[in-house]
Every structure is written in structure tokens, then in C-alpha cells.
């Protein structure tokens, strides 16, 4: 029978998970305590404070949903959308499409504003669509991991609020790797995942709701259709009542606590700058290799770099050799980029010059 300790070490430079620092792994391995143990509850309060810091918010309703980033997406939508609500979603990649699908399944009347893969959403087009449809909820992916593009989020809230709508933003890939300003940008609900720029294993979805979003939640005419993700219940556990809802993934919260401590020690500005510097170094090396980006210049994410595989090269075979011979994982293309692109993630602990040199050096050898 294989054992976990037989698993090879990998350098994770794909679209997530990112490399997890030893301190976080050590925290994860700390003996499990009870989820209502007062010592653990104090740790949870610290996690909330750390999440408010990375989201740049004072929102009281800030917590970590049990589940991966997709659980955060689902929680944001099912709590804030009621059947028949108009929801406008920006779609220029896989995750925008997924948001639209989740909203449809929640019974929303969904309209999309689309942009070609590799291009950002157009702010003016979004604003025109908002004026036309007066949506209850506008949902946008900040960092579209499938294409490596950043979408315009700052400045969108004004148009959304003009119709008393709520702005929901997917920050799964952007959080802790580039500026995410929940309060300053007027975001009503933001969610993320732990395994991208927070450099923690997958398993928790940081989530924050503005007071406007909480008011919407409290005005619902029907109960939240998901019992597990019902924030009116979850907040009783994360809040002062500490009411049992489900058993918190205790060790994952240890890990997130440590990951947030590391973010605090580095400082957000320095962390964003480190991601930017790694991206610049990668850009120069890819240019040298003659590998062009498939994402539009000026709108590229620092932490997720989508590049075209050379014509005639089997991109999957190259990825396989990178993994087998060099122990480096990168991602393949999704959707419109399937079979044509590589996605190189420089997330969290992976945003270093050493990681950039390792992956570009290996690509240079394999493509020679």
C-alpha cells in the first residue's frame, strides 16, 4: 500500500495549489483540539482579524467557509440571491462562467457581459448593462485564473449601487497577491480560497460580507437553500454565540492562522511587490524563450501567467516531463485555451526569483 510519505516533492507553479511553507505545514500538524475549546475560539478570532486585514475591510461578517474557493462562490451566491432575482455576471473565462452557472442554479435570471478569452471585461459595457438591467447582484471575477487577466473592479460599485444592487467579487486568485480593497472599492461580498496566494493547503474559503449584504441576507423572504452554507447559521458559530453548526475543520484553521501570520509579517505591500517582481522576471525570461502571453498586455495578472505553447509542441507532454523529470507542476489551458497554453502560477510562497528560474530553465531545456 502506498504511503503519503512516498509522495514526491513538487514545486507547485500551476493555477493552485501553491507551495505551502514549512511553518504552515507544522501548524497543520499540531494536535487537534475541540472546535468549541476556548483556546481554539480565540484563534478563530485572530483568523477573522487576519482575514479583515487581507481583504482590507472592517466588515464584522468576515469568516472562513469550510470548503474550497468554490464553496465561497456558492456561499456568496446562495445567500444573496433569491429565485427570480436579476444577476449580471461578467464572463471572460472559466470562473466567470461558473459564477453564472451557480447563479442560474440558485434560480436567478442571469445576464452575462462577455469578453473574449485573454481580454479583460469592459467597464463601460458592464456599466451600460447594469443601467439596462438594474441587477440585484453584479458578480465579477477579479483575477480570472483561466486566462491570466485582471478585470476592472475598482469603480464598479457606484453603478451597482445606483440600482441598489450588490457587488460580488471572486478574489480567489487575487487575494494576498495583489491589491484587493473590499471597503475602498465598495465590494459587498468577496470570497477567496486558501491554496492560491495565501499559500495554505486547499480547504477553506475566506469570505466577507458588507453591512449592506448582511441587510439583504436578513431581508430574504425564503431561507437560504443550502443549509450547510447558510451564513445566518454560520455567523452564530463565528460570532459571540458560538453555537454548534458543523465541526470546523480545526487543523485547516491552524494552517490558515499561520499563513495569515506570515502575510502580516511580510506586509501586504511587500507581498504584492514580490508577486510583481516575480512576474516581471518571468515575463523577461519568456520573452527570451519566444513564448508569448495569451493574455492582453496591460491586463496581466502577476500571479497567473498564461502563455502560448509553441505551434507543433505537445503542451501536455511538456508538462508531463516537467513534472516527471524536474518535479515542477504547471497548468494546462482550460476552455478556449485547452491544448494551446500553459498557465504558470507564481502564487504566494511560489512568487520568487528561484521559482521563476527553475521553471524557465526547465522549459528552456525541454523545448531545446
- Contacts with ligand PLP by CB under 6 A lie at 16, 68-70, 73, 95, 141, 143, 145, 170, 172-173, 193, 202
Helix, strand, coil % (nearest 5) of the chain? 40, 15, 40
Cβ of 326: how many Cβ atoms within 10 Å? 17
Q: Which is nearer to ligand PLP, 99 or 362 (CB)?
A: 99
Residue 65 or 362 having the CB closest to ligand PLP: 65
Minimal distance in Å, beta carbon 351 to ligand PLP? Answer: 15
Q: Cβ closer to ligand PLP: 95 or 342? A: 95
Asked if 234 contacts 76 with a C-beta cutoff of 8 angstroms, the reply is: no
Q: Which is nearer to ligand PLP, 145 or 295 (CB)?
A: 145
The position carrying cell 483540539 is 33
CB of 182 to ligand PLP, least distance (A): 16
Q: How far is the CB of 25 from ligand PLP (least distance, A)?
A: 19
Least distance (Å) between residue 313 CB and ligand PLP: 25
Least gap, CB of 303 to ligand PLP (angstroms): 10
Work out how close the CB of 69 gets to ligand PLP at its nearest, in angstroms, rounded to a whole number. Answer: 3
Grid cell at residue 267:
506586509
Q: How far apart are the C-alpha atoms of 123 and 342, rounded to whole Å?
A: 27
Region class of 148: left (phi > 0), else alpha (psi between -120 and 50), else beta: left
- Name the residue with cell 443549509: 227
Bridge-partner residues for 304, per DSSP? 345
- Nearest CB to ligand PLP, comparing residues 143 and 178: 143
Residue 114 pairs in a beta bridge with 91
Give counts: helices (H), strands (E), the chain: 12, 14
Apex 164 CA angle, 162 and 167, nearest 5: 90
Angle at 319 between CA 318 and CA 320, to 5 degrees: 90
Which residue is at the shortest CB distance from ligand PLP? Answer: 69
For ligand PLP, the closer of residues 78 and 362 by Cβ is 78
Amino acid at each position: 500500500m502506498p504511503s503519503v510519505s512516498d509522495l514526491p516533492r513538487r514545486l507547485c507553479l500551476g493555477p493552485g495549489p501553491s507551495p505551502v511553507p514549512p511553518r504552515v505545514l507544522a501548524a497543520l500538524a499540531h494536535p487537534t483540539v475541540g472546535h468549541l475549546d476556548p483556546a481554539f475560539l480565540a484563534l478563530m478570532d485572530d483568523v477573522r482579524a487576519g482575514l479583515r486585514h487581507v481583504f482590507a475591510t472592517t466588515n464584522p461578517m468576515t469568516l472562513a467557509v469550510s470548503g474550497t474557493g468554490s464553496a465561497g462562490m456558492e456561499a456568496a451566491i446562495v445567500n444573496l440571491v433569491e429565485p427570480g432575482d436579476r444577476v449580471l455576471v461578467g464572463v471572460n473565462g472559466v470562473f466567470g462562467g461558473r459564477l453564472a452557472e451557480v447563479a442560474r442554479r440558485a434560480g436567478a435570471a442571469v445576464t452575462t457581459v462577455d469578453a473574449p478569452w485573454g481580454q479583460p471585461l469592459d467597464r463601460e459595457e458592464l456599466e451600460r448593462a447594469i443601467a439596462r438591467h438594474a441587477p440585484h447582484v453584479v458578480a465579477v471575477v477579479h483575477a480570472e485564473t483561466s486566462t491570466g487577466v485582471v478585470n476592472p473592479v475598482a469603480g464598479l460599485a457606484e453603478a451597482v449601487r445606483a440600482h441598489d444592487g450588490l457587488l460580488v467579487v471572486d478574489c480567489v486568485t487575487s487575494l494576498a497577491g495583489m491589491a484587493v480593497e473590499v471597503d475602498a472599492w465598495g465590494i459587498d461580498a468577496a470570497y477567496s480560497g486558501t491554496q492560491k496566494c495565501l499559500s495554505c493547503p486547499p480547504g477553506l474559503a475566506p469570505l466577507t460580507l458588507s453591512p449592506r449584504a448582511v441587510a439583504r441576507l436578513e431581508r430574504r423572504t425564503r431561507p437560504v437553500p443550502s443549509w450547510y452554507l447558510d451564513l445566518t447559521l454560520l455567523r452564530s458559530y463565528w460570532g459571540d454565540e458560538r453555537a454548534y453548526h458543523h465541526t470546523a475543520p480545526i487543523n485547516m484553521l491552524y494552517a490558515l492562522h499561520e499563513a495569515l501570520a506570515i502575510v502580516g509579517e511580510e506586509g501586504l505591500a511587500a507581498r504584492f511587490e514580490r508577486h510583481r517582481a516575480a512576474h516581471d522576471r518571468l515575463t523577461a525570461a519568456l520573452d527570451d524563450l519566444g513564448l508569448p502571453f495569451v493574455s492582453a498586455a496591460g491586463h496581466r495578472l502577476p500571479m497567473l501567467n498564461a502563455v502560448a505553447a509553441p505551434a507543433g509542441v505537445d503542451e501536455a507532454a511538456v508538462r508531463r516531463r516537467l513534472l516527471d523529470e524536474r518535479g515542477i507542476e504547471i497548468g494546462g489551458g482550460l476552455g478556449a485555451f485547452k491544448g494551446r497554453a500553459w498557465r504558470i502560477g507564481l502564487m504566494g510562497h511560489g512568487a520568487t526569483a528561484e521559482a521563476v528560474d527553475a521553471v524557465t530553465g526547465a522549459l528552456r531545456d525541454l523545448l531545446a
